Structures are given as structure tokens and as C-alpha cells.
A = this chain, B = another copy of it.
Amino acid sequence: MQSDLYNIGQAAKASGISAKMIRHYEEVGLLPAASRTLSGYRTYNHQDVHMLRFIRHSRDLGFSIKQIADLLSLWRDKNRASSKVKSLAAEHIEMLNKKIEELSAMKSELSRLVSCCHGDGRPDCPILDSLSSE
């Protein structure tokens, strides 16, 4: 029966990835080219939708498309070493950490400046003073 076939809109709803992005992932090679109906519509089966969900979960954790491609190939490889997955994830945690630290540094410096600024109708402002300093 056909009931386990999805068109792109249904696959999008089922996976939480927009139709736009599903096409994009196919174009950049993250997904294999989808099967097509005679009229050219892409079709997806349960397996495909399962893969789309995998991709969405990975994106939700901030993995890049390149990293997701690696995760997918590990996922498909039933003889993988879990250490490879773990190190990939650990690498990503490192990157998240780096970004968090960068943003936190910005935030604390800016918070410091904001707390120094009286913030009333007068023009003098330590924030601008700091931005224009040498």
C-alpha cells in the first residue's frame, strides 16, 4: 500500500524540518536524492522520515551540516565504534563552550558598562566613552 509514502510537505510536518530545508539538504548532499512520482513529486518513506528526524535532533543540538553528515554515516554503520561518535560530540561541546565564553565575555563587559551609565537625559555616557577610547 501507499500509506507509508509521504510527499515533501507531509515529511516536513512529520520531521519538523521545513520542505525548503529538505530540498536544500538534498541539494548539498546531506540527503540522497529522493524518489519521485511520475509527475516529479518527491516521495519519502518511514525510513526517510526517520533520517529526517535524526537530522532535526542533530540540528537542535547545534551540529553543522558537515557534522551531521558524519553522524549519519556513523549511524548507518552498524560496526561503528561509539568512541567516534563520542569524540565528535565532545568536539562540538568544545565549540559550544568557546562560543558561550565569547558571548559571556561580551555580556560581562557590556554589563559593566551599562551599570556605570546613569541612563538619564544627560549626554555623558561611559558606554560611548569606552567605545571611543583608544
**Using a CB–CB distance below 8 Å, which chain A residues touch chain B?**
50, 53-54, 57-58, 60-62, 71, 74-75, 77-83, 85-87, 89-90, 92-93, 96-97, 99-100, 103-104, 106-107, 109-111, 113-114, 117-125, 127-128, 130-134
Please report whether the interface of chain A is mostly helix, strand, loop or mixed according to DSSP. helix
B120 & A81 in contact (Cβ 8 Å cutoff)? yes
B54 & A117 in contact (Cβ 8 Å cutoff)? no
| Copies of this chain, tallied across the complex | 2
Residues of B near A107 (CB, < 8 A) are 93, 96-97, 100
Instruction: Give the most central of A71, A74, A125: most B CB within 10 Å.
Output: A125
A92, closest chain B residue (CB): B110
